[in-house]
Amino acid sequence: MYIGNKEFVSGYTYIMGILNVTPDSFSDGGKYADADTALKHIEEMIKDGADVIDIGGESTRPGYERISETEEIERIAPVIERAKEHFDIPLSIDTYKPEVAEEALRLGAHLINDIWGLKGENLKYVRDDGAILPDMASVIAKYNASCCIMHNRLMAEETFQRRTAESNTGKILSTGTSGEKGIPERSIVAAVAGDLEQSLKAAYDAGIDKNRIILDPGVGFGKTYEENLGVLKYLKDICNAFDVPMLLGTSKKSVIGLTLGLGKDERTEGTLATTARAVECGCMFVRVHEVKENARFIKMYEAILAD
């Protein structure tokens, strides 16, 4: 597949390094909120082995507060412009807002990482002044950009927020609240793959090049603790359901914290375990905070698995 002009080939697992230029992201909120510190961190991640940099201007942690398109653009635009000046590395933008995506692509970003899987219109997002936004798939196709399409639950956002927040504190396990039922373990494959198939169709219908599409099963988004473990357990089945690359994003997430009983700053080993799962299941990308540790781990693990 291609991100920008760079080709990524099957048989390897590449690293997408996370850069949150936000004050409130769950792991690194506030650390890289200005362009200078952000640029320095990009440089560090490239040195440590990052293959793609994923820039986020709005936190989507459980219980996040949505910011305006204008504010999100103001956060990411200086970082995109300066990164383009200093580095030759594909830039991904973590956004679900078509207006933000369009401005990012206009500035030279290469990939849109959409947590709502091109289905944001179902959430009825509109611009601050009430104008109807173009759909995300059309924006991506217009610029011949790449995209990462993530699985997420198509439920009312307030339900999503509550269910995810409760899951991340361990209050929801097999079942939801208010009668919501968790997905039976083995059925998670059909549930995730079915939703991703719809998103993939939307991408093709809009004219997005197949060679510019990545899928993400959405660990930590709209799922219970047990459903997240189910995605990891049956990850290979989910990967095998598609003939496009898969990304796994589990870095420091609550499924690791709940399993190990550890806070967000103590989840490196748990993250590496999920990275091992990504490599053995054939995921082309992992999205991580700690680039150096994951890059070294993947290099060693791929050497062991090599023919």
- Closest CA relative to residue 102, chosen from 68, 67, 82, 77: 77
SS3 145: coil
Cα separation of 190 and 265, whole Å?
Answer: 33
Counted residue by residue, the chain has a size of 307
* Cβ neighbours of residue 137 closer than 8 Å, sequence gap 6 or more: 118, 202, 203, 205, 206, 208
Cα separation of 283 and 281, whole Å?
Answer: 6
- Give me 51's structure tokens: 């293959």
What CA–CA distances, in Å, run from 271 to 13, 214, 286?
A: 15, 21, 10
How many angstroms separate the first and last alpha carbons of the chain? 23
Contact between 83 and 49 (Cβ < 8 Å)? no
- Closest CA relative to residue 216, chosen from 285, 150, 275: 150
- Give me 132's structure tokens: 């109807």
- Give me 79's structure tokens: 């970082």
- Which residues are marked as active site? 253, 287
